[in-house]
Amino acid sequence: MNARVNKPLLYLSFIGLAALAYSVVDVFIHRTGGTHLGSYVPWGMGVVMYLLFVGFSAGGLLVSALTQMFGVRELKPLGGLATYAALVAEVCAGIAIASDLGRFERMFNFLLSPSLTSPMWWMFLFFSAVLFVSFMKAWAFAKRDDGLVAFWSWVSIPVGLCFYFTNGFFFSVLTGHGLWSGPVVPLLFVCAALLCGGALVTALAWWSMTNREGVIRLGCVVQLLLVAFVVLEGLWLWIGWQGGRVETLAAMRNLSAGPGAWAFWGLHVFAGMALPLFLLPQTEDNPGLAAWACLLILVGFAGARWAFVVPAQSVPMLPGLDTAWQHPRLMLSYLPSLAEWSMAAGVSGLALFGFLMGPRFFPGLYGSGPQTTKAS
């Protein structure tokens, strides 16, 4: 295991943490008033970052499923790392979404006045469950108790699948938004999460030098998931196109040719799908290349989430609504504010810090003995 800490990356994470501090203060002072969100584009960077980190957190589920259900023994040594990465990502996702609430101090109402008809309530429930199970799994790994590890790994599979499903379900019920609604979306979310989570664990395993065999094996799984994701996404867009609803087609035009098209074509399609699809088949003896291809998938996923969340909202619910009463909060265009960029940089910095310091703080989780190597 490589417990040396890359100092430039560590300093970069400190900048991120400073940005996080700034954005948290801004949230406490201005609530959502510091964002550039509005009533016609009510979700932006906060939701994008939440979905991004939710995707990153699925590596724990993927490795558990592969080792426990499918008996892929080469991946066993990656279990602790995958669980740790999932925990870090879940914490980051939680911060991103809690700070996006107009009245975050009332979150206890999820418990006091729950609504079982709301996909968001189920998402909250499964998010809490996933967080709890990840903690228990990490604890079991740290104790090196194989029985407990197996138990919590099995528990994490249905809980995790339900959680990633509810994230897609959350959007699929919004029939007013043609691009979001429909039964393919929850499946797309499950597949995207497994892909991203797998890519994250592959990259982290390579850079922390945990297990060469595991990196190659997981790289193959990521390759398969990427193919499945491409097929599902193609299906999703094709159904929308064939359905021919005016709002859906307008959202698709925004996605492919609107101001955010760079996120879709540049980040998502080129960096996140085409390049990894080209690189991954060549990584059988080259785990380093697999790790870089996975890093590209992660970067591309940020573009994918932006392309999913923002362009769909840039279509007026009724023609002419956006010009009926004019105010910056009643517009269809959206660019994040400084506070929102800070929050994005902040949770990314927190994740980077967590991933860098993981091998030093939690050597047990990474499958080694007490850490002895000094920081470089």
Is the Cβ of residue 56 or residue 171 nearer to other proteins in the bound state? 171
262 binds other proteins (CB under 8 A): no
Instruction: Establish if 117 lies at the interface with other proteins (CB under 8 A).
Output: yes
Q: b vs e for 355-372, b when ≥16 Cβ sit within 10 Å of the residue's Cβ?
A: bbbbbeebbbbbbbeeee
Contacts (CB under 8 A) with other proteins, residues 42-61: 42-43
d(C-alpha 152, C-alpha 156), whole Å: 6
Q: Which is nearer to other proteins, 231 or 335 (CB)?
A: 335
162 makes contact with other proteins (CB under 8 A) = no
CB 277 within 8 A of CB 165: no
Interface stretch with other proteins, choices 48-56, 109-117, 126-134, 270-278 (CB under 8 A): 109-117
Report residue 90 as tokens.
């879940």
Does 119 sit near other proteins (CB under 8 A)?
yes
**Contact track, other proteins, 65-104, x by CB under 8 A:** -----------------------------------xxxxx
Half-sphere exposure of 360 (CA within 13 A, CB side): 14
Among all chains, which residue has been given the structure tokens 């499918």?
70
CB 305 within 8 A of CB 48: yes
Nearer to other proteins, 171 or 362 (CB): 171
Q: Which amino acid belongs to residue 334?
A: Y
113 near other proteins, judged by CB under 8 A = yes
325 binds other proteins per the rule CB under 8 A: yes
Q: How far is the CB of 88 from other proteins (least distance, A)?
A: 24
Of 15, 109, 241, 288, which lies in the binding site for other proteins, with binding defined by CB under 8 A? 109
Stretch that binds other proteins, among 116-124, 148-156, 197-205, 297-305 (CB under 8 A): 116-124
Q: Tell me, what DSSP letter sits at residue 102? A: T
Residue 199 Cβ vs other proteins, minimum distance, rounded to whole Å: 29
Binding track, positions 7-36, relative to other proteins; x by CB under 8 A? -----------------------xxxx-x-
**CA–CA separation, 63 and 99 (whole Å):** 30
Residue identified by tokens 């228990």 is 136
- Contact with other proteins (CB under 8 A) among 175, 242, 372, 376: 175
Q: Which two tokens stand for residue 77?
A: 């040594």
Check residue 330 for interaction with other proteins (CB under 8 A): yes
User: Which residues are CB-neighbours of 216 under 8 A, at least 6 positions away?
Assistant: 283, 284, 285, 287, 290
> Pick from 374, 376, 355, 375: which is nearest to 366 by CA?
355
Distance of alpha carbon 67 from alpha carbon 76, whole angstroms = 6
Query: Binding of other proteins at residue 320 (CB under 8 A)?
Result: yes
**Both tokens of residue 234?**
């193609």
> Whole-angstrom Cα distance, residue 346 to residue 24?
9
Q: Whole-number minimum distance, CB 104 to other proteins, in Å?
A: 7
Q: Does 173 bind other proteins (CB under 8 A)?
A: yes
Residues that bind other proteins (CB under 8 A): 30-33, 35, 37-40, 42-43, 100-104, 106-107, 109-110, 112-115, 117-121, 124, 173-177, 313, 316-321, 323-325, 327-330
